[in-house]
Amino acid sequence: MQPLDYYANNVTGTLTLLAAMDVASVKTLIFSSSATVYGNVQTMPLTEAHELLPATNPYGRSKLMVEWLLADLVVANPAWHIACLRYFNPVGAHESGLIGEAPCGVPNNLMPYLSDVAFGLRESLTIFGGDYPTPDGTGMRDYIHVMDLVEGHVAALKYLKNHSGLHTFNLGTGRGLSVLELVRAFETSTGQAVPFVIGPRRVGDVAACWADATSAYALLGWHTQRTLEDICRDTWRWVSEGRVDE
């Protein structure tokens, strides 16, 4: 963890951007927030009204600080039109197979690690924890196709045309999926084996986290369109055909 880098990038970076926008008289902004602002919550799904407690996670705290400063900003100056989008777990790739994620070094996140294993770049996936209080013991998350997420931004931008102030939305599918369920779905959709071992829990991980995305549907007219199978197939197309490894 690099707390100072998170704060410098997210907090100082946002302040610098807002100052530049002010000078240029641009007053419409979409902020990429994160479900990590909710912290370690026991009851799912999460609505936007839920208490915000990003436990001991500097990334989540830096996102929450930006949410607070944006809230202060719209009170001080009602000319701003700001959407705060709380992303759940973005995965997948562009349907063309030409745009996707290629993290430097060993991936931290599940999907890039899992797809590296399927591609034969890594031996096996370590599932972080098999003893969570979830139906199969593995952690549960709300995995959203990145192109659904993109469409959520377009919907938010349209909404901001007629709405000033700060508007916060969860962007997720509304469905929690376990690590094991994702592994099985990936194997079924792509025909590739994903060997795995169950390891210890990763420090800082919550057992489960998924969205109540009804507000985005009600106000933005947006909901996810792509299936878990789409997520797996598009990830695999990118990894096996589009990605160029260095």
What CA–CA distance (Å, rounded) separates 199 from 206? Answer: 15
Which stretch, 7-15, 48-56, 124-132, 149-157, contacts ligand UDP (CB under 6 A)? Answer: 124-132
Residue from 84, 160, 166, 179 binding ligand UDP (CB under 6 A): 179
CA distances from 233 to 62, 95, 180, 198, 225 (A): 33, 9, 17, 24, 15
Q: Which residue of 109, 124, 188, 227 would you call a contact of ligand UDP, by CB under 6 A?
A: 109
Let me know the angle formed at the C-alpha of 140 by 243 and 221, rounded to the nearest 5 degrees: 75
Radius of gyration of the chain (CA): 19
The mark string for 85-104 relative to ligand UDP (x by CB under 6 A, - otherwise) is: ----x---------------
Q: CA 41 to CA 51: how far, in whole Å?
A: 9
Closest by CA position to 159, among listed 30, 17, 14? 30
**Cis bond before residue 45 (omega within 30° of 0):** yes
Binds ligand UDP (CB under 6 A): choice among 141, 145, 223, 243: 141
Residues 6+ apart with CB under 8 A from 99: 93, 238, 242
Residue with smallest beta-carbon separation from ligand UDP: 139
- Are the beta carbons of 148 and 226 closer than 8 angstroms? yes
190 binds ligand UDP (CB under 6 A): no
Q: Is 110 in the site for ligand UDP (CB under 6 A)?
A: yes
Give min distance, CB of 58 to ligand UDP, in A.
13
**Only segment of 11-19, 66-74, 109-117, 221-229 that touches ligand UDP (CB under 6 A):** 109-117
126 sits near ligand UDP (criterion: CB under 6 A): yes
Smallest gap from Cβ 128 to ligand UDP, in A, equals 4
Look up 59 and say whether it is catalytic: yes
- 3-class state of residue 28 by DSSP: strand
119 beta partners? none
56 binds ligand UDP (CB under 6 A): no
What are the structure tokens assigned to 132, written together? 């969570």
Minimum separation from the CB atom of position 87 to ligand UDP (A): 10
Please identify, using beta-carbon distances, which residue of 28 and 126 lies nearer to ligand UDP: 126
Q: Tell which one of 83, 118, 127, 180 touches ligand UDP (CB under 6 A).
A: 127
Q: Does 202 bind ligand UDP (CB under 6 A)?
A: yes
Parallel, antiparallel, or unpaired for β 177-178 and 89-91?
Answer: unpaired
CB of 111 to ligand UDP, least distance (A): 6
Residue where the block lists tokens 């979409």: 30
Q: For binding to ligand UDP (CB under 6 A), which residues are involved?
A: 89, 108-110, 113, 125-128, 139, 141, 179, 202, 205
Residues belonging to the active site? 59
